[in-house]
Structure 1
Amino acid sequence: MIRLECFKGGSSKFYEIILEQSGQADDYKVVTRYGRIGTSGASAAKFEHLTLAQAEREREKIVREKERKGYEVIRRTGAASASSAAPSASLASAVPARPRLEVDLQLAAPSALDTDTLIEGRTYLMQEKHDGVRALLSGMAGVAILRNKRGRLLDVPAGVAAFAEAALTGDGETILDAELVGDRLFIFDLLMLNGEDMRGEGFRRRYATLEGLVLPHVEHVTLSPAFSFPTSKRANHDALLAAGAEGVVFKCGSAPYAGGRSAGNGDCLKVKFVESATVRVKAPHATKRSVAIEMLDGESWVDVGNVTIPPNHPIPAASAHVEVLYLYAYRGGSLYQPVYKGERDDVSDADCAIGQLKFKAESRLAA
C-alpha cells in the first residue's frame, strides 16, 4: 500500500493505492481509497485483471500523477494484499509513526581538486561511491525505518531489520547514512547515536564510533570502509577503478556532517569513474525494448537519444524518471553509449536538468 497526503492550498486529503490479488495466480487489481484525512474515505477499483508487473506500473503512474498535483508519499508498506477489507488500518501499523527522520543530507560535490592530491594527502578519507539508492536508517527500540533522500519510506530488507533488532535497541534514536544496493545496506556515516547528535563531530570520530556499532553485525549489513593512509587509498582507488565501480568519495577527516552540497574544494567530494545522469522517459519504442529519453533545458524538454532496456528490467512508462550511464555527451544534448541503470522514484523533473551533463571536451573517458 502507498499512502499520499496533500496539504496544498489548505487541503487536508489522503490518497491510498492498494494492489489486491484475486484468487488466481498473477491476477491483480489496483484499488484506490481517498478522502479527507481523519475519515475512512471512499474506495474505487481503477484497474482489474492485471499481472503483478502491470499493476505495479499503473500504481507508480498514479503516484507520479498525484505528486504533480501536490501530494507527497508518506508511507510504503508491504506487497499486494489478498483483500480490500479495511487494509488501511492494518497496514498503517506496519510502519511505526516514530522515529521520524528530519535530516538535511550531506551531498558530495564533483571534486575540483586533483585526485592524486586527495589520495596522497592525509586530510581526506576515501570511501567507495556505491551504486544504489541513498537511504537513511533510523532505529530505536529494535525497530528500523528506511527513507530515501526525498523522505519516502522504503521497504526494510530482512538483514536491516535483523541489524536493528540486534544493535539499535536503545530508547534514543540512532540515524545512519547509507546506500541500499539491492537488499544490502552499505553504511558510511553516523549522524545520531542513541539520541546523541553526532553531526558536529569530525568524520574520523564519527566513523570510529560507527565501526564499533556495525562491525559486530556484518552478517546483516556492510560497513563501507574508510581509507585514510595514502597507500591504502591508492590501492583501493585503483582496485575500484579496475572493477568498474561508480567512483569514490573523499571526506575531510576533521569536518562535521554538514547538510547540502559541498563546494568543489570542500569537505565532501566525489570522483566518478563513469558519468551518470537522471533523465525522463519521453516515450517507449513501439516494437523494441528501448525508450526515447529527454532532459530539461531551462523550461523546455530536449531529446538526448534512446537507451535500450535490459530484459531483467520492466520498460518504464512515459514521464518516468530513470538513471543512465554514459561515456560523454555531445553539445546539443545527445548521450554517447547510454546504459540503462533503472527507474528512480526519489527524484523529480528538476533533477533532469541538462546542466548535469559532462560534454565531450570535459569528460574523462572511462577505461
Structure 2
Amino acid sequence: MTAIGEPKTASLYFRQGNSDKEYHARLESQDDGFVVNFAYGRRGSSLTTGTKTSSPVEYAKAVAIFDKLVQGKQSKGYTPGEDGTPYQHTSSDRQASGLLPQLLNVAEEADVARIVADPAWCMQEKFDGRRMMLRKSGDTVEAINKLGLVVGVSAAVARAAGSIDGDFILDGEVIGDVLYAFDIFEYAGNDLREKPYHERYRILLDLIALNLDDAIAPTHNWTSQCDKRRKLAELRDAKAEGVVFKRLDAPYSPGRPNSGGPQLKFKFVETLSALVTAVNTQRSVGLSLHGDDGLTFVGNVTIPANHDVPAIGEVVEVRYLYAAPALYQPVYLGVRDDILPAECVMAQVKFKSSHAGQHTASSA
C-alpha cells in the first residue's frame, strides 16, 4: 500500500504486430504539492514528455490523476513492465531557453567530391535522430530542441551530463538514450562560439572523456581526404541517413544562413516535413506544403501500426523517393514537434527531372 506522500511510478508497454510502444507515468513531489508527469512513444525512440498537472496539487488528487491515467492506458491494451527507460520531465517544458542551434543547408551532389577533397572541411555521420542541445548549470541539466524550447530528456542522458564537472552547453543529436555530441559552445563560463570548429571539437572530446557513462558519446570526425572518401562509401552502403560537412576554421553561428554556410548536410535519402491537412480512413493522412499559391496537396501517407495517427495541423516527417509532383513512395517517420508549420514549404521537395526546373531542393 502506498504511503501518503510517497512517489508512484508505472511503466506500461503495448506490443501488437509491428506496434511496439511504451508509456511511463510518475507521481512525485514538487514545491508544496505533487505533480503527475508522463513520457510516451515508440520503444527505443526519443520519447515525448508532458504533465497532467500544470501546477502542484494535493496528494490525494495527484493519486486520482495518476491512477486514472494508468487505468486508461491499460484499458487500451498496455500492460505493466519493468524494463523501460525513465524520462526526466522538466517544469520548464516547452519554454524558451534563449538558445538556438546552428542549422545546416544542403550540399548538392555536384559539390560533394570537391568538399571531400578539400582539407578545410571535415565530415561526420548524420544521425537519424532529434537535434538537442544540453545545458548544464550547477546541478541543473536542461535539454533544448531545434526550436530553442526546453524539452524532456532521457534520464540516462541527464544523469551522464550531471556527472561531468563544470557548466557547459553541448550540441548534438539524440537517439533513444544516447546523445551523440558534435559541438560545444560554452564551457566553464567561457563562450566558445568564436573559436574555430577544430578547437571546439577538441574541447568537446576532452569534456566527454570525463563522462564514464556511454549515454553521451562523441560524433566521429574524419578530416583526411582518404578517410572522408572511404567513410562516405561505407555509410552509403550501410544505408545511413547521410553525412555532415563542417569547415574546421568556422565559428559557431546560431540560425541558418540564407544559402551555403560553413556546415552542410548531404542526405542519401530524401526526407521532408509536411503539414497534416486530412485524416483519411484506414490509417492514412493527407499532406500539404506551403507554396507560392498557398497550401499545396502533395499526397497521402500510410501511418504504420506502431505510430498513433497524427491530427490535422501537426507536422510530420516523411521519407520519399521523389515528387512528380505528388510524393512517390512516401514512408511515414513520425511527428516533428520541433518543426514549425511555416517550415513545411515546397522548397524542400526534390522533384523528378521533368519537374526539376519548377523548384529547388532545400533543407527541412
Q: CA deviation at 1:109?
A: 0.9
Equivalent-residue separation in structure 2 for 1:302 and 1:251 (angstroms) = 34
Find the counterpart in structure 1 of residue 336 from structure 2: 344
Equivalent-residue separation in structure 2 for 1:337 and 1:301 (angstroms) = 21
Find the counterpart in structure 1 of residue 121 from structure 2: 124
Equivalent-residue separation in structure 1 for 2:75 and 2:196 (angstroms) = 47
Find the counterpart in structure 2 of residue 291 from structure 1: 285
Find the counterpart in structure 1 of residue 137 from structure 2: 140
Give yes or no for the alignment of 1:238 onto 2:233: yes
Give, as a single letter, the amino acid of the residue that structure 2 aligns with 1:108. Answer: L
Per-residue CA distance 1:3-49 (angstroms, 9 max, x = gap) = xxxxxxxxxxxxxx9779xxxxxxxxx96769xxxxxxxxxx9xx88
Q: Which runs of 5+ in 1 are unaligned?
A: 1-16, 21-29, 35-44, 56-75, 79-90
Q: Is the 8 A contact 2:88 2:154 kept in 1?
A: no
Give, as a single letter, the amino acid of the residue that structure 2 aligns with 1:301. Answer: L
Q: CA deviation at 1:284?
A: 2.1
Equivalent-residue separation in structure 2 for 1:259 and 1:33 (angstroms) = 31
Give, as a single letter, the amino acid of the residue that structure 2 aligns with 1:298. Answer: D
- C-alpha spacing 1:51/1:316, structure 2 compared with 1 (3 Å): farther
Give, as a single letter, the amino acid of the residue that structure 1 aligns with 2:100. Answer: D
Equivalent-residue separation in structure 2 for 1:348 and 1:329 (angstroms) = 22
TM-score (norm 1): 0.70
Q: CA deviation at 1:296?
A: 1.6
Q: Is the 8 A contact 1:324 1:340 kept in 2?
A: yes
Equivalent-residue separation in structure 1 for 2:75 and 2:262 (angstroms) = 44
- C-alpha spacing 1:250/1:304, structure 2 compared with 1 (3 Å): same
Cα RMSD after superposing both structures: 3.1
Find the counterpart in structure 1 of residue 188 from structure 2: 194
Q: Which runs of 5+ in 2 are unaligned?
A: 1-34, 39-50, 56-64, 77-86
Give yes or no for the alignment of 1:174 onto 2:168: yes
Give, as a single letter, the amino acid of the residue that structure 2 aligns with 1:154. Answer: V
Equivalent-residue separation in structure 2 for 1:222 and 1:312 (angstroms) = 28
Equivalent-residue separation in structure 1 for 2:72 and 2:289 (angstroms) = 31
TM-score (norm 2): 0.70
Q: Is the 8 A contact 2:88 2:158 kept in 1?
A: no
- C-alpha spacing 1:351/1:54, structure 2 compared with 1 (3 Å): farther
Q: CA deviation at 1:278?
A: 0.6
Identity of aligned residues (%): 35
Q: Kindly report which structure 2 residues correspond to 1:1-367, keeping only aligned pairs within 5 A, or say none.
A: 51-52=72-73, 78=89, 92=91, 101-112=97-108, 114-167=111-164, 169-170=165-166, 173-217=167-211, 219-262=214-257, 264-286=259-281, 288-298=282-292, 300-331=294-325, 334-361=326-353, 362=356
- C-alpha spacing 1:230/1:31, structure 2 compared with 1 (3 Å): closer
Equivalent-residue separation in structure 1 for 2:144 and 2:119 (angstroms) = 33
Q: CA deviation at 1:53?
A: 10
Q: CA deviation at 1:269?
A: 1.0
Give, as a single letter, the amino acid of the residue that structure 2 aligns with 1:190. Answer: I
The number of residues matched between the two structures is: 285
Q: CA deviation at 1:321?
A: 0.8
Per-residue CA distance 1:84-133 (angstroms, 9 max, x = gap) = xxxxxxx74xx69x9x8433321111125610111122010111111111
Per-residue CA distance 1:317-366 (angstroms, 9 max, x = gap) = 121110001111123xx1011111100111222011112111112599xx
Give, as a single letter, the amino acid of the residue that structure 1 aligns with 2:105. Answer: A
Per-residue CA distance 1:120-155 (angstroms, 9 max, x = gap) = 220101111111111110012243110112222222
